[in-house]
C-alpha cells in the first residue's frame, strides 16, 4: 500500500517564556491509503499536537509532512485544506450554533466550489442521508439535535469536501455507548464505501481494537510502538502499550484473561 | 437486621416547566447496606445524577422539582428533616466525589485551607495544627507522595490524578457512612483512572463506607461495584450482583448496553438499536437481590 501521508522526523516545541516543552519528539510514520490508523496515548502524549500539524493549524518545528508524495507547506492552500478534514470530539462546539445544519454543510461546498451552485441544496440533503439523518434536518439548528445526531452532521461536513484524509479526534468520547456503537459503525461503512483514510485519535483502546488497521502508541511526545492492531493486542512490544491495555476497564471474562496475560508478561519482563 | 445505609423507595421526580411537568424518575427503588458498593449505571439523561442529588438533599430546595416516594438515610426519612438538618449531614455523614476533580477544587485557595474547611464541617473548633495533621494523614492514605507539599499547593499545580486523590481524601476525611461518587475518574487517563479506583476501593473497604457509584462506564462498574442497578429513562430495568449481571444480563436494555461496549478482544462493532420498545420491558431482579421488605 502506498503512503497517503508521511511524517518524517517531525518535532514540535512550544515555548512559553523560558519554558520549552517538546510536545512531539522526532516522530516518523506513514498513513497508508485507505487505512484507519489509530493514534493512542494519554494526555500529554502529543497526539493532538500531531493532529494539528497534519491539519496545518501550525507547522512542525522540525521535520516534514508530505501528502500524496508532495511536501505540505506551512501555509496550506485551499486544496490542501479541502483534502484533509477534521471531526472533533464535541460537535456542539464544533458546529456554529447560530447556523442551521444545512448552512453548515453548504459552506464547504461554496468555499471549495464543489458542484453546480444550483445542485448544492440537494447535495446537502444527500449528505445528511449518507450519515443516516433525514434530509429535512437541514433546516434545524444544532441544539435541536441529540449528541449522536450532531456528530453525524460533523461527519457529513467532513464528507462534503470529498476529502481523502479525515482526522477524527476522539469522535465518540462524548457519546453514550449505544450511540457510540452506531457512530463507529457509520464511520466504518463510510470508509469502506468511499475509500477514505482515517487518522483516528483516541485514548480508548477498546474502540481502537475494533476500528483500526494499525495503531501508533505515543508516550510523552515519542512514538513508542507502531504495529498492526492484531499485534498490539495479542503481543504488544512496548511496556507502555501493555500498561495501557492492562488499565482498560473491561466487561467480559475473555477480556480479563487477555489483560491478565499481558500484565503477566509485563511482570515477567520487568 | 440493621437499617440499610441508604434506602430509596418508589422515588419519583418531575420538573414543572412552562410546557407542563417533565417526569424524570418513574418510581425507582434501591438500597445500600453498610459497607456495600452499589452502582447505578445508565446513559446520559437516565436519571442517575438527579438521584444522587436527591439523596444529598440538593434538589429538595428547587421550587420546580416535584419529588415523591421515600429516601431513608440510616433509618431516617430525609423528607422529615429540616433543610438545616439535611445540610448538617452533607460533608459529615454523607459526602460526594465529582467527575472533574480540578473544577471541584477552588483554584484560589491552597489545598490545605480547603481541607481545613472540610474538617470543620465535622469538628467546628478544630485548630489549624490539628487540621493540618489530620489532612496530612488523609493525603498519605491516598498515596500522595509528599502530603505537606500537596497541602501548600493550589489545585492547578497538581495533576488531575493528584487532584482526584485529594478529592477522595477530603470526601472520606470525616468518615462518612455514605460516599456518593458521580462518574469519578471519567476525566482522567485510563492508567490514572485504574489507580484511583483501586485506591478508592481499598479505602472504603477499610472504613466500611457504603458507596453509591454513579457511572455510564460498564467496565468501571464491573470492577468497582458489588451490586448493580441499571437505570433507563428513569426506571430501574435490572438489578443484581455485579458478577451475575455481567455474566448473565437478562433485560433487553442491559444486553444492548453490554453488547455495545467495544471489546479489547475484538469482534468488530455490533449492530444495535439505540431505541427499542423492548428496553421498556419489566424489571429483572437477579436471585437474592430483591429490595428489603417494607420495614426499614
Q: What is the 3-state secondary structure (H, E, C) of chain A?
A: CCEEEEEEEEEEEEEECCEEEEEEEEEEEEEECCCEEEEECCCCCCHHHHHHHHHCCCCCCEEEEEECCEECCCCCCHHHHHHEEEECCCHHHHCCCCCCHHHHHHHHHHHCCCCCHHHHHHHHHHHHHHCCCCHHHHHCCHHHCCHHHHHHHHHHHHHHCCCCEEEEECCCCCCCHHHHHHHHHHHHHHHHHHCCEEEEEECCHHHHHHHCCEEEEEECCEEEEEEEHHHHHHCCCCHHHHHHHHCCCCCCHHHHHHHHHHHHHHHHHC
Confidence of residue A269 (pLDDT cuts 50, 70, 90): low
For residue B115, what pLDDT is reported? Answer: 96
Query: What does the alpha-carbon distance between residue B6 and residue B32 come to, in Å, rounded to a whole number?
Result: 5
User: Does B160 sit within 8 Å of A177, measured CB to CB?
Assistant: no
> For strand A214-219 and strand A36-40, is the pairing parallel, antiparallel, or unpaired?
parallel
Does the pLDDT value for residue B224 go beyond 60? yes
| B272 closest CB neighbour out of A148, A181, A245 | A181
pLDDT tens digits for range B6-58: 999 999 999 998 889 999 999 999 999 999 999 999 998 899 999 999 999 88
**Global pTM?**
0.90
What residues of A are in contact with residue B264 (Cβ under 8 Å)? 205-206, 209, 233, 245, 248, 250, 255, 258-259
Cα–Cα distance for residue pair B28/B236, rounded to 1 Å: 6
Average pLDDT over residues A134-143: 94
pLDDT at site A22: 93
Counting beta carbons within 10 angstroms of the beta carbon of residue B58, is it exposed (0 to 12), middle (13 to 18) or buried (19 or more)? middle
Nearest to B269 among A147, A181, A233 (CB): A181
Distance CA B222, CA B243 (A): 8
- B190, B218, B237: best mutation site toward chain A, by most A Cβ within 10 Å? B190
d(CA A253, CA B247): 8
Q: Name the average pLDDT for chain A.
A: 93
Is pLDDT above 50 for B296? no
Contact list, A218 vs chain B (CB under 8 Å):
none
What does the pLDDT read at residue B1? 58
Q: What is the mean pLDDT of residues A172-182?
A: 90
Q: How far is CA B104 from the centre of its chain?
A: 15
**What's the length of chain B?**
296
| Separation of alpha carbons B266 and A245, rounded Å | 13
Residue B42: list chain A partners with CB under 8 A: none
CA distance B5 to B75: 7
CB B55 within 8 A of CB B8: yes
pLDDT of residue A58: 94
Greatest alpha-carbon span in chain B: 60
CA–CA separation, B233 and A131 (whole Å): 26
How are beta strands B65-73 and B76-77 bridged, if at all? antiparallel
Q: Do A233 and B194 touch (CB under 8 A)?
A: no
**Contact (CB, 8 A) for A41 and A202:** no
With beta carbons under 8 A apart, name residues in chain A contacting B262. Answer: 181, 184, 204, 206-207, 209-210
| Strand ordering across the sheet containing B20-32 | B20-32, B6-17, B65-73, B76-77
Closest residue to B263, CB basis, from A148, A204, A252: A252
Q: Hey, are the CB atoms on A209 and B262 less than 8 Å from each other?
A: yes
User: How far is the alpha carbon of A40 from chain B, nearest alpha carbon, in Å?
Assistant: 11
Average pLDDT over residues B85-111: 91
Give chain A positions within 8 Å (CB) of B268.
210
Does B295 have pLDDT greater than 60? Answer: no
Is B263–A248 a contact, with Cβ atoms under 8 angstroms apart?
A: no
Contacts of B184 in chain A (CB under 8 A): none
Q: Is the pLDDT of residue A74 over 80?
A: yes
Quick one: pLDDT at residue A118?
92
Over the stretch B225-234, which tens digit does the pLDDT of each residue have?
999 999 999 9
Long-range own/partner contacts, residues A245-249 (CB < 8 A, 24 or more apart): A245/A205, A245/B264, A246/B194, A247/B190, A247/B191, A247/B193, A247/B194, A248/A205, A248/A206, A248/B190, A248/B219, A248/B264, A249/B190, A249/B193, A249/B194, A249/B217, A249/B218, A249/B219, A249/B220, A249/B222, A249/B223
B236 touches B289 (CB < 8 A) = no
Read off the pLDDT of residues A8-21 as tens digits, 9 standing for 90 and up: 999 999 998 888 99
Residues 6+ apart with CB under 8 A from A146: A179
**Residues of chain A contacting residue B222, judged by C-beta atoms under 8 Å apart:** 249-251
The beta-carbon neighbor of A176 closest among B216, B219, B271 is: B216
pLDDT value for B193: 87
**Whether B260 and A180 lie within 8 Å, measured CB to CB:** yes
Q: Cβ contacts of residue A269 below 8 Å, gap of 6+?
A: A239
Contact status, residue B272 vs residue A148, Cβ threshold 8 Å: no
Please tell me which residue of chain B has the smallest CA distance to A242: B191
Given this model, what pLDDT does residue B235 score? 96
Residues in chain A: 270
Side-by-side strand order, sheet with A3-16: A19-32, A3-16, A62-67, A70-71
Give yes or no for residue B294 having a pLDDT over 60: no
Looking at the predicted structure, is the pLDDT value of residue B95 above 70? yes
Identify the weakest region by mean pLDDT among A24-28, A88-92, A142-146, A188-192: A88-92
CA–CA separation, B77 and B294 (whole Å): 14
Interface membership of A20 toward B (CB under 8 Å) = no
In percent, the amount of chain B with pLDDT more than 70 equals 99
Q: Distance, in angstroms, between B214 CA and closest chain A CA?
A: 14
CA-closest candidate to residue B245, choices B39, B66, B67, B98 = B39
Contact B51, B40 (CB under 8 A): yes
The sign of the dihedral angle between the CA atoms of A29, A33, A38, A39 is positive
* pLDDT tens, residue by residue, B171-199: 999 999 999 999 887 778 888 888 889 99
A268: pLDDT strictly greater than 80 = no
pLDDT score of A57 more than 50: yes
Beta strands A165-169 and A84-87 are parallel
* Residue A193 contacts B where some CB pair is shorter than 8 Å: no
ipTM computed for the complex: 0.86
| Residue A1 predicted with pLDDT over 70 | no
Amino acid at each position: 500500500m502506498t503512503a497517503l501521508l508521511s511524517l518524517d522526523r517531525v518535532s514540535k516545541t512550544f515555548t512559553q517564556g523560558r519554558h520549552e516543552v517538546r510536545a512531539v519528539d522526532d516522530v516518523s510514520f506513514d498513513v497508508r491509503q485507505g487505512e484507519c490508523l489509530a493514534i493512542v496515548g494519554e494526555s500529554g502524549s502529543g497526539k493532538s499536537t500531531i493532529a494539528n500539524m497534519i491539519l496545518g493549524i501550525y507547522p512542525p518545528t522540525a521535520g516534514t509532512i508530505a501528502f500524496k508524495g508532495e511536501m505540505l507547506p506551512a501555509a496550506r492552500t485551499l486544496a490542501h485544506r479541502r483534502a484533509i478534514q477534521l471531526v472533533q470530539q464535541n460537535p456542539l462546539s464544533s458546529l456554529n450554533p447560530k447556523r442551521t445544519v444545512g448552512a453548515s454543510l453548504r459552506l464547504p461546498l461554496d468555499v471549495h466550489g464543489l458542484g453546480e451552485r444550483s445542485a448544492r441544496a440537494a447535495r446537502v440533503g444527500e449528505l445528511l442521508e449518507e450519515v443516516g439523518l433525514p434530509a429535512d434536518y437541514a433546516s434545524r439548528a444544532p441544539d435541536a439535535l441529540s449528541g449522536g445526531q450532531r456528530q453525524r452532521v460533523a461527519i457529513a461536513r467532513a464528507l462534503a469536501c470529498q476529502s481523502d484524509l479525515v482526522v477524527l479526534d476522539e469522535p465518540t468520547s462524548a457519546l453514550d455507548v449505544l450511540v457510540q456503537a452506531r457512530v463507529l459503525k457509520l464511520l466504518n461503512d463510510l470508509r469502506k464505501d468511499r475509500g477514505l483514510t482515517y487518522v483516528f485519535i483516541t485514548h480508548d483502546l477498546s474502540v481502537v481494537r475494533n476500528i483500526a488497521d494499525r495503531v501508533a502508541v505515543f508516550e510523552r511526545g515519542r512514538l513508542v510502538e507502531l504495529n498492526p492492531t492484531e499485534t498490539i493486542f495479542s503481543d504488544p512490544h512496548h511496556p507502555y502499550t501493555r500498561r495501557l491495555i492492562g488499565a482498560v476497564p473491561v466487561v467480559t471474562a475473555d477480556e480479563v484473561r487477555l489483560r491478565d496475560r499481558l500484565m503477566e508478561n509485563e511482570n515477567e519482563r520487568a | 437486621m440493621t437499617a440499610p445505609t441508604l434506602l430509596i423507595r418508589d422515588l419519583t421526580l418531575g420538573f414543572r416547566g412552562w410546557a407542563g411537568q417533565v417526569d424524570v424518575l418513574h418510581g425507582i427503588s434501591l438500597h445500600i447496606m453498610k459497607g456495600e458498593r452499589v452502582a447505578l449505571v445508565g446513559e446520559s439523561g437516565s436519571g442517575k445524577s438527579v438521584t444522587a442529588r436527591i439523596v444529598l438533599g440538593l434538589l429538595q430546595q428547587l421550587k420546580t422539582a416535584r419529588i415523591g416516594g421515600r429516601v431513608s438515610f440510616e433509618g431516617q426519612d430525609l423528607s422529615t428533616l429540616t433543610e438545616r438538618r439535611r445540610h448538617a449531614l452533607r460533608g459529615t455523614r454523607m459526602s460526594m466525589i465529582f467527575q472533574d476533580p480540578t473544577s471541584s477544587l477552588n483554584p484560589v485557595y491552597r489545598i490545605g485551607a480547603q481541607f481545613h474547611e472540610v474538617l470543620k464541617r465535622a469538628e467546628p473548633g478544630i485548630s489549624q495544627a490539628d487540621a493540618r495533621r489530620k489532612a496530612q494523614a488523609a493525603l498519605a492514605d491516598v498515596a500522595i507522595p509528599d502530603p505537606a507539599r500537596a497541602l501548600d499547593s493550589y489545585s492547578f499545580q497538581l495533576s488531575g490524578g493528584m487532584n482526584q486523590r485529594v478529592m477522595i481524601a477530603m470526601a472520606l476525611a470525616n468518615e462518612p457512612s455514605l460516599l456518593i461518587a458521580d462518574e469519578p475518574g471519567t476525566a482522567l487517563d485510563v492508567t490514572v483512572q485504574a489507580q484511583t479506583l483501586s485506591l478508592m476501593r481499598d479505602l472504603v473497604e477499610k472504613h466500611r463506607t457504603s458507596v453509591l457509584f454513579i457511572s455510564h462506564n460498564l467496565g468501571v462498574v464491573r470492577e468497582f461495584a458489588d451490586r448493580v442497578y441499571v437505570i433507563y429513562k428513569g426506571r430501574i430495568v435490572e438489578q443484581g450482583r455485579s458478577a451475575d449481571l455481567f455474566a448473565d444480563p437478562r433485560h433487553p436494555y442491559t444486553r444492548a448496553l453490554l453488547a455495545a461496549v467495544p471489546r479489547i478482544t475484538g469482534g468488530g462493532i455490533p449492530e444495535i438499536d439505540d431505541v427499542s420498545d423492548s428496553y421498556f420491558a419489566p424489571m429483572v431482579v437477579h436471585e437474592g437481590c430483591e429490595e428489603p421488605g417494607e420495614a426499614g
